[in-house]
Amino acid sequence: MDLQNSKSSNASAITVQAAAGVPVDGNTLDFEALSLSTTFSGINSDVSQAVTPNSHNFPLPPAIETTRPRSATAAQGRATVHPELPDARAAHFRARASDATMAFNKFILYENKLRFYIVASNTSESRHKIVKIDRTSQDELDVVEDDATYSGKQMSAMLKMLEDGNKGCGGLGKARMFFGIAGFIRFTAGWYMIVITKRSIVALLGGHYIYHCEETEILPVSSTHRIEKPTDEQRLMNIFKQVDLSKNFYFSYTYDLTSSLQHNLTRPMAFSRMFSDRFAWNHNMMTRAFEHRESSPVKSQWLLPLVHGHVDQAKLTVLGRVIFITIIARRSRHHAGARYLKRGVNDEGNVANEVETEQIVSETLTTSFYYPASPASNPGGKPRRPSPNYTSYVQYRGSIPIYWTQETTSMVPRPPIEISVMDPFYTAASRHFDDLLSRYGGPLMILNLIKKREPQPRESKLLEEYTTCVKYLNQFLPPNRKMEYRAWDMSRAYKEKTQDVIGYLEDIAEESIQMTGFFHSGPEPYAHWLKSEADAWNAGTGEAVPVPWRDTMYLQNGICRTNCVDCLDRTNAAQFVFGKRALGHQLYALGVVDTPNLAFDSDAVNMLTEMYHDHGDTLAMQYTGSALVNRVETYRRMPHWNSHSRDIIENFRRFYTNSLLDADKQAAINLFLGIQNDRAITQPVQRGGYRDWYQAQNLQPAYELEECERGIQEFVSDRGDFWIEYYRPLLFTSLGKHFVYSMNSTLKLPGKSARDINNSPFMPRYIVPLHPPRLMDGVRRWIRAGSPSKRNSVRAESRHEAGLKSSKSDQRPDKTSTEYIASALLDPVVPLEEEHEYKDYIDQCQDMLNAPPDYAERKDQKVYINAVALSALDDDDPWAVPDKELELFGVYMKKGSPYTAESAGSRENLPVTFNYEKWITCFS
């Protein structure tokens, strides 16, 4: 019997009863026996065999027990709202109450020959939803979702009904648990469903977990999967699997990983499971199956957008304060591919190797993005206020936006660069920069790090064309909106040793941050205003000077676009310097440090260096198949002893990958992204004006302060409850398995221990010599020696050089000369005695804890002897103390009170005239 054909009026409905109470400003939104009656032909038809005519209306048990008494007059099937609440406001809070628990992160698959049933549950397993996928059709993908939300008992009853109704085709089958659906794919015949079977936590933001996809599984949807061309099907399947979903793919159930923190917090409508398709690499698998329908039959909580790139998080421990540093790199799916096969820009303005890097620095005083507002500072009655402990800074890297290619058929390590299309109006570049302005706003800084002079012109061709392109486009922009273009030959500056590479990049980074700003979710710490006011008073003006103090949130409008020829080694080093400078400003905005200037070789900067090394290695592996060749230490002129051999190995690996494997890699990426033609146009090309190449609204700031303040307040009020999934008080978990506890931190750097928790992570741990020893000099001399005669000559030359060095060392420098004073100031030397004295001062408390019980008495005795010697002014032997005085001191220490004449019996026993009690008092 089919429920849809039943004559009973209630045969088409499954009644789900629930009751809950949600307090709203002292009132209660009382759901009285809320019955979610849904006519659902797809699922009801599956239980027809288990329902008799007398029991077609199956009442499911209520799962939510309310703590308030129910109203006796409430009608079944509707929600009863108190009359003092407006209908719109009640609907608003109903949506808010449901949004807080609709984050599904656990999925169970039931399958038989006819259907897939997928049950989704939240972390606390108090809310469930179900979806059905038809397996009888091979050509079409039929997915039906139940709009109702079930409790645990209700879902158990539903599954029992489905089990009874599907006995003819094997029941529901064995349950299989997985963690999300990545999408659906089709090759030659039939659809496949890609599910995530294993995950791992890599980051935590405001109570929102970010996961790394560890394992996936491809399941054929049709139970009668018939393939007419099995060879082609298997070939396409093997190509598809070359894009390894278990490497560098990330997702989150409740946080929009495709957008920046500033976008998510200040534009809360974008947080409601909408995502940026530019950075969702499985966008084709999420939409292709439903592209011919007006709307997708599956809501967004079922399909997870996957971000390809890199995510890393570490802790910075500052005297008991815990600071989280998170780096998120998002690789664009547009114009994506291998190194030599994807260069420059396409007709739509999308560039190759486009990566958005976001650096988030936050203090975890509260788990969520908000904290409760105090009644005194909250006259408006808002129960929450945004947490001012979140900051972020966004950078951008991408290939040079002109048409250029490199031919790999010649099998040379560095193929020649050819500018394939000469566009005098730079149409593709104008679309690219207009898109950057629409996404990030202005101002826009361009940092070009390619070579300027070469023996054989290669990169310099791109420099000339790129410079001409920016100058041409800049002439049409308003004077105050022009792009800031900086071209600097970073490689030449490093090789010629005429410039401090890192110092020059820090100057550019500081200028860029001052231009674009960074995101801070709250006002500046009040301590900054107090310190500035105190400095103004101390300046000697005699009156208070008005000090600028930011009492609002801070926004980033604009971005710095960095590139070299590959956007790898030099670009990553430059982005690290920008990140280091931004870290100083972010920590200063949080009130952690008193200056934005951070010293190199400190624990904080060392940890950030390792994070950017991993960031650069991961992006380089994705684009070229090998890790970075030149790292930050290279440009700091501090290479590791094995850096030369490592660079040779990476260059060989990069050459092998680019020459032999890139073609297959590019085919796999195209198949994964759904690109049929390598130069496919996904959107119609819109020809703009040659002079007005930009849209006027894109020149305005992308984020307005008033709008963002309203948006972040709306976010914390209505959409900030996802963090409740973070707390699971009934789950027993060991501390070692907790992600926050096992996260990397400054205390886990090499050579660190628990005692370093009291040391500042911003102080440099050691001073690097200006000219580190060259360990390979001896090996090179041995290689150059060749024959024994040459070795003898080398020995003779070395002896002669040693004699010259010894003769030079005999010449004592003049300590009064300017050269000696300048060198001493640049490289100060601390005497060994001062080092020991400072170490004793630092370790005195620890020495007191580890000292024997009589250590303090012996130390006091030494102080007493020194005092007596100074008072006696005995030049012959100032340390000679009479025995009587030592006995006097012993009695004093034993009794614990000043020794007086009355206690001694007579003044003859007190030959010392020094007032010891007065001396002790002045030092206490």
Residue 597 lies in a domain: yes
Question: Is there a single domain that holds both residue 225 and residue 186?
Answer: yes
Is 329:619 a contact under the CB 8 Å cutoff?
yes
| Among 557, 535, 562, CA closest to 546 | 535
Same domain, 655 and 571: yes
Choose among 357, 333, 515, 351: nearest CA to 441: 515
For residue 771, pLDDT beyond 70: no
Within a 13 Å sphere around the CA of 491, how many CA atoms are in the beta-carbon half?
18
Least confident of 383-397, 580-594, 888-902: 888-902
Query: Is 633 part of a structural domain of the chain?
Result: yes
Give the residue from 259, 288, 317 where a domain finishes. Answer: 288
Question: Which range, of 301-305, 605-609, 777-781, 847-851, averages the lowest pLDDT?
Answer: 777-781
Q: Do both 407 and 467 map to the same domain?
A: yes
Mean pLDDT within 668-686: 73
CA distances from 369 to 154, 262, 701, 726 (A): 33, 12, 24, 13
Q: What is the end-to-end Cα distance of the chain in Å, rounded?
A: 96
What are the distances in angstroms from CA 624 to CA 240, 572, 647, 652?
Answer: 19, 14, 14, 12
Q: Give the residue numbers spanning the domain of 265.
A: 98-288
Q: Tell me, what's the pLDDT at 344? A: 93
pLDDT digits (tens, 9 = 90+) for 579-625: 999 999 999 999 999 899 999 989 999 999 999 999 999 999 999 88
Rg of the chain over Cα atoms, rounded to whole angstroms, equals: 36
Range of 98-112, 438-452, 881-895 with top mean pLDDT? 438-452
Q: With bands split at pLDDT 50, 70 and 90, how would you rate the model's confidence at 58?
A: very low
Amino acid at 533: E
Q: Provide the CA 341 distance to its chain's centre, in angstroms.
A: 29
Max mean pLDDT range (381-395, 475-489, 745-759): 475-489
SS3 747: helix
Strand ranges, E, within 438-502:
444-448, 484-487
d(CA 105, CA 95) in angstroms, rounded, equals 20
| Residue 739 belongs to a domain | no
Pairing mode of beta strands 104-111, 115-122: antiparallel
DSSP 630-695: S-HHHHTT---TTHHHHHHHHHHHHHHIIIIIHHHHHHHHHHHHT-SSTT--SSPPPP--SS--S-
188 and 262 co-located in one domain: yes
Reading the block at residue 674, the tokens are 């759904």
**424 within domain boundaries:** yes
Tokens of 584: 């100083």
97-135 pLDDT, tens digit per residue, is 444 446 788 899 999 888 999 999 988 888 899 999 999
* Maximum C-alpha span of the chain: 124
733, part of any domain: no
Question: Mind spelling out the 3-state secondary structure of 852-874?
Answer: CCCHHHHHHHHHHHHHHHHHHCC
Residue 729 pLDDT greater than 90, yes or no:
no
Mean pLDDT of the chain: 76
Within-domain flag for 715: no
3-class DSSP assignment, residue 738:
coil
Low-confidence winner among 200-204, 425-429, 888-892 (lowest mean pLDDT): 888-892
Tokens of 184: 């659906």
Question: Do residues 46 and 93 touch, judged by C-beta distance below 8 A?
Answer: no
Per the DSSP assignment, residues forming a β-bridge with 881 are none
- Tens of pLDDT, residue by residue over 257-307, are 999 999 999 987 645 557 888 999 999 999 888 877 766 656 667 899 999
* Size of the chain, expressed as the number of residues it contains: 924
Task: Specify the pLDDT at position 806.
Answer: 45
pTM of the model: 0.73
Looking at the structure, tell me whether residues 476 and 583 fall in a common domain. Answer: yes
Q: Which two tokens stand for residue 828?
A: 């100060």
Contact 530, 573 (CB under 8 A): no
Residue 85 has pLDDT above 60, yes or no: no
Higher pLDDT, 911 or 668: 668
What is the amino acid identity at position 725?
Answer: E
141 in Cβ contact with 184 (< 8 Å): yes
Q: What is the mean pLDDT of residues 564-585?
A: 95
The pairing of beta strand 27-35 with beta strand 143-145: unpaired
Q: Residue 745: enclosing H or E segment and its boundaries?
A: strand 744-745
Q: Let me know whether 409 and 282 are in one domain.
A: no
d(CA 36, CA 16): 5
With both helix axes pointing from N to C terminus, report the angle between 883-895 and 855-872 in degrees, rounded to the nearest 10. Answer: 130
273 and 320 share one domain: no
- 608 and 673 fall within a common domain: yes
Same domain for 318 and 216, yes or no, is: no
Cis? peptide before 443, omega within 30° of 0: yes
How many distinct structural domains can be found in the chain? 2
- Amino acid 817: pLDDT: 75
**Lowest mean pLDDT segment, chosen from 47-51, 113-117, 399-403:** 47-51
Amino acid 487: pLDDT: 95
Task: Label residue 546 by pLDDT band (50, 70, 90).
Answer: low
Q: How far apart are CA 879 and CA 862, in angstroms?
A: 10
Residue 908 CA, distance from chain mean position? 79
What percentage of the chain exceeds 70 in pLDDT?
A: 66
Residues 191 and 278 in one domain: yes
E strand residue ranges, 125-232: 128-134, 143-145, 176-178, 181-186, 191-205, 208-220
How crowded is residue 757: how many other Cβ atoms within 10 Å of its Cβ?
A: 14
Is 315 part of a structural domain of the chain? yes
Domain boundary among 288, 319, 348: 288
Same domain, 421 and 451: yes
DSSP-assigned letter for residue 600: T
Q: Is residue 817 in some structural domain?
A: no
Q: Are residues 282 and 319 in the same domain?
A: no
